[in-house]
Amino acid sequence: MSTAAYQGGLVSDTGRRLPSNYKWAIVLMLWCITFFNYADRMALNANMPLIRADFGLDKATGGMLGAAFGYTYGLCALFAGFTVDRVRRKTAVLVGLVVWSLICMGTATAHTFWMLFAFLALEGLGEAFYFPAAMSMMSDYHGKATRSKAMSINQTSVYFGTIGGTFFAGYLGKEYGWRSAFLAFGAMGLVLAVLLWRFLHEPPRGAADRADAVAEGGGDPHVIRHVSSGPADTSPFFNLTAVAGLLMLVSGLLMLARTVMSIKTDPTIAETIRAYVPWVLMTLFGLVFTTLRRLRKDREFWTFFRVFMTTPTAVLLLFAFLCANSVATIVLVWMPTFVFENIYLKDAAMLAVAGTFATMPLQLASMVGSPGGGALADYLRARSPRGRILVQMMGVLCAVPFVFFCGQVHGKWALILVLAGWGLFKGVYDSNIWASVYDVVRPELRGMTTGFMNMVAWGGGALAPIGAGYIADTYKENGLGYAISGASGIYILSGLLLFAAAMMFVTRDSARLKAQIAAEARQA
């Protein structure tokens, strides 16, 4: 039975009839947005040698720039997921695209290290809302039979965005300076947001899961049950905190922006603390106070943690994702520099080629691995609840030797081979990140689930490039090679976590969720 069945087609949350193939059109539209979501990020990595030279940075400090996006992306992801579960996801997707595109263009104006760091961090804030909204939306158009396929197709845009972003950002950096890449990608994102505003439609939450439950056990597919929320707290104290928090938030952001724009040269650490910290603290306190009243009355926020932490499969998938993301962050941030220094011997004319060389074999192979992994996971999931997680486990464990040799080989063809091998199995893992956890998490909590997992994976994974940069500075002879090869051990840990989830917990956790949704669908 198709999602949100309505006379053979689909229906949006406003009751608008949609053609039966719209659930694949939504994959295409989100594919385009995801492309720029990743292309924007690669503008930094592809131009890292130019930016380091412009600002006079060592590798460890350059790693801080590579981690700036991850800091904010991770810290804001839970709040973004909380918001996505309460607003129309179409709005979250397209407004997020507009915001991060504007910030991307603003990055070109940075003239100090801290100003550049601030823009990269703010871009993470804009992009934090996208994946929770997009994956939750896609899960409501695609049920058990096609969810991994749909998400694996969307995942290929990550690889296209990484390749295209690296190549064009490197080319623009070489020809017109590193700032031009941020301007170009930001402008194209704004155009895409305008084009898609009319064609992107919001699905009813939980539509696909209810349709699956009805097909298997009867009931009404339009019944929806939200986790209960408590009554509004109208006490004067919480009204006051909301107003005070909003004033602090706005004032802090305005003064922080003014401070960033007023600094003309790189400040010392003491000057940076005096200039930035008061306004950062005001902004953070404002954010806390603004949300305090809402969080007190909204039991869903706390219910999410109770549900997630009492679902062992979800917890193990979270830590496996943290491990896998740490490996990916190390390699994607530093592989262009590794190729530039070891294959092209720091020839500035080969900067764009080095960036493309470092990413194209990896991403092209992932384009094969991701759809293949998605199709295999849907096939196995139809036969066992363990299917998706076993496919993920196969992906990370088979990638271990390829990641190790990525940091050890120095010949062009040998490096192409190991990058492609890693990319193939990385795609197999990536294709099921969200489909696997959605097998054990309720539809109305999936935005927060995606946000929480992104918070932990990106917040923790953001430390990885800094550690790799430290290793590279410590061991001057092939230091980057040691850092990249060492990441293979993190993959082994990820595989063990996935094995535990598949063998010990997923059968019970998925059966519990299926029983809940089937019972609710029969209530009408």
Structure tokens, 382? 């139809």
- 4 belongs to a structural domain: no
Residues 263, 359, single domain; the answer is no
The answer on 161 and 26 residing in a single domain is yes
Side chain identity, residue 433: I
Predicted local distance difference test score (pLDDT) of residue 230: 36
Q: What is the structure's pLDDT at 223?
A: 45
Question: Is residue 310 one of the residues assigned to a domain?
Answer: yes
Full DSSP string of 363-400: HHHHHHHHHHHHHHHHHHHTT-TTHHHHHHHHHHHHHH
Residue 3: inside a domain, yes or no?
no
Q: What is the extent of the structural domain holding 238?
A: 231-297
Verify that 282 and 357 share a domain, yes or no: no
Q: Phi/psi of residue 268, each to 5°?
A: -75, 170
Residue 350 confidence (pLDDT)? 59
Residue 428 is assigned to a structural domain of this protein: yes
CA-atom Rg of the chain in angstroms: 23
Give me 78's structure tokens.
């839970």
Q: Is residue 2 part of a domain?
A: no
Asked if 256 and 119 count as a contact pair (C-beta separation under 8 A), the reply is no
Predicted pLDDT of residue 142 = 87
Contact (CB, 8 A) for 514 and 499: no
What residues does 6 pair with on adjacent strands? 9
219 and 254 share one domain: no
Whole-angstrom distance, CA of residue 434 vs CA of residue 519: 24
Domain check: are 293 and 310 in the same one? Answer: no
Mark whether 302 and 250 lie in a shared domain.
no
Intervals of the chain under pLDDT 50: 1-8, 219-242, 263-265, 269, 273, 524
Query: E strand or H helix at 349, and its extent?
Result: none
Do 131 and 180 have their domain in common? yes
pTM for the complete prediction? 0.70
Q: Are residues 235 and 323 in the same domain?
A: no
Same domain, 53 and 112: yes
Domain boundary among 247, 274, 297: 297
Q: Are residues 335 and 239 in the same domain?
A: no
Comparing CA positions, the residue from 301, 278, 291, 30 lying closest to residue 152 is 30
Q: Which of 297, 317, 340 is the last residue of a domain?
A: 297
| Residue 85 falls inside a structural domain | yes
**Distance in angstroms (rounded) separating the CA atoms of residues 35 and 156:** 9
Alpha-carbon distance of 490 to 335, in angstroms, equals 17
CA-to-CA dists, residue 359 to 126, 172, 405, 406, 485, angstroms: 25, 17, 15, 12, 17
One domain for residues 140 and 188: yes
pLDDT tens by residue, 246-290: 555 555 555 555 555 554 445 554 555 455 555 555 555 555 555
Contact in structure between 364 and 422 (CB atoms under 8 Å): no
- Angle CA(253)–CA(259)–CA(265) in degrees, nearest 5? 145
Give the burial string for 315-344 (b: 16+ CB within 10 Å, else e).
ebbbbbbbbbbbbbbbbbbbbbbbbbbbbb
Q: Do 167 and 245 fall within a single domain? A: no
Mark residue 267 as left, alpha or beta (left: phi above 0; alpha: psi -120 to 50; beta: remaining).
Answer: beta
pLDDT at residue 289, rounded to an integer? 56
Q: Which of 54, 24, 404, 336 minimizes the C-alpha distance to 167? A: 336
pLDDT at 418: 92
Number of domains composing the chain: 2
CATH code, domain with 194: 1.20.1250.20
Q: Could you give the C-alpha distances from 391 to 157, 380, 428, in angstroms and in order? A: 20, 9, 7
* Final residue of a structural domain among 272, 297, 322: 297
Determine, yes or no, domain membership for 47: yes
Residues in the chain: 524
Residue 185 lies inside a defined structural domain of this protein: yes
